[in-house]
Amino acid sequence: MNYYGKSVLVTGGYGFIGSNLVHDLVKLGAKVTVIDNFLENTSANLLNLSDIKGKFEYFNACLTDSKVVNEVVKNKEIIFHLAGQTSHTIAMNDPLLDLKANVISTLSLLEACRLNNPKVKIVSASTRQVYGKPVKLPIDENHELNPPDVNAIHNITADNYLLLYDKIFGINSIIFRLTNTFGPRQNMKMNSQQVLPIFFRQVIEGKEISIFGDGEQIRDFNYVTDVSHAFLIGGLANVHGEIFNLGNKNHKSLLEIAKSIIKINGSGSYRLIPFPEERKKIDVGDTYLDYSKVESLLGWKPEVSFERAVLETLDYFKGRGVDSF
């Protein structure tokens, strides 16, 4: 994969997926610039890039800061757009914060590109939550959009801006709608984030894994190295104006997942607890994505087994301490 010498920008580069991507880009010899404003209650963490400090250029700024962003986007060949607010519960409690973090920031980035670098390629992250409660499974890219919460509405809006600027202004963009992603450098402290980091933290701390409801809700999961690989493929692909689902055929119930984590960890226990009302209202039930389109057009598919991914994630956080993340 030829990234050597390419000038790339990673928005949200100190976050979970962004920092894993930055590590990969640095290894590949890219000229990497990171912009991140360390939005509160996100996965942004100085430790995520501490081992490669000095090997990339960094700007501490929000994407709505046009003075900075207008300069940062100049001469970039590829922009990986991973900045944003991903918690659905935080979005419901503070919709204006989520609007700024996910919609206004994306539009600001697009405007900076239109004015200063319209030939750039953008690879952007979105979420499977935009589909809402599935009408059919697995969910493909033609599934109707039925956003169950504020964050999903804002992701749809950001996606539409990207597609519009691709069509009208020629700013080539592709969008990856992600399912649950986990792995090293993930935020382990926030209960408002997705379920797997909560499970990992609880089992590492020797606590019972808490599962909402009956635990029979089915999900698919991807390891962060596979997701980073998809972004790398997307950045070089001669494809634009497309949305791709990044799913996994190995879908499991939350109860099965908890039992797998306990088994791989070598100890632990779980308990079923009632659904918190704020989560029950936005839960979409069983959901997993069809990734056949991205496999067909870009040649991507998940490679890392769930068991190996869990083992590597446990080892990573046990060696560093979950409180650091």
Q: For residue 207, tell me if it sits in a domain.
A: no
Band the pLDDT of 148: cuts 50, 70, 90.
Answer: very high
**CATH number for the domain harbouring residue 125:** 3.40.50.720
Band the pLDDT of 39: cuts 50, 70, 90.
Answer: confident
Q: For residue 297, tell me if it sits in a domain.
A: no
User: Which helix (H) or strand (E) covers residue 10, if one does?
Assistant: strand 7-11
- Per-residue pLDDT tens over the stretch 255-297: 999 999 999 999 999 999 988 777 766 778 899 999 999 999 9
Task: Supply the range of the domain harboring residue 29.
Answer: 7-182+222-248
Q: For residue 142, tell me if it sits in a domain.
A: yes
Mean pLDDT of 7-15: 98
Q: For residue 177, tell me if it sits in a domain.
A: yes
Whole-structure pTM value: 0.95
- Residue 206 reports pLDDT greater than 80: yes
Q: Which two tokens stand for residue 185?
A: 């450098």
User: Which helix (H) or strand (E) covers residue 177, if one does?
Assistant: strand 173-178
- Residue 182 reports pLDDT greater than 70: yes
Q: For residue 98, tell me if it sits in a domain.
A: yes
Strands 78-81 and 121-127: parallel
Given 3-state DSSP classes, what are the helix, strand and coil percentages for the chain, each rounded to the nearest 5? Answer: 45, 15, 40
Mean pLDDT of 1-8: 96
Structure-derived torsion over alpha carbons of residues 85, 87, 92, 95, reported in degrees to the nearest 10: 0
Q: For residue 29, tell me if it sits in a domain.
A: yes
Domain count, the chain: 1
Structure-derived torsion over alpha carbons of residues 307, 123, 23, 260, reported in degrees to the nearest 10: -10
Q: For residue 120, tell me if it sits in a domain.
A: yes
Question: 160 and 102 in contact (C-beta within 8 Å)?
Answer: no
Q: Other C-beta atoms within 10 Å of 271: how many?
A: 11
Q: For residue 188, tell me if it sits in a domain.
A: no
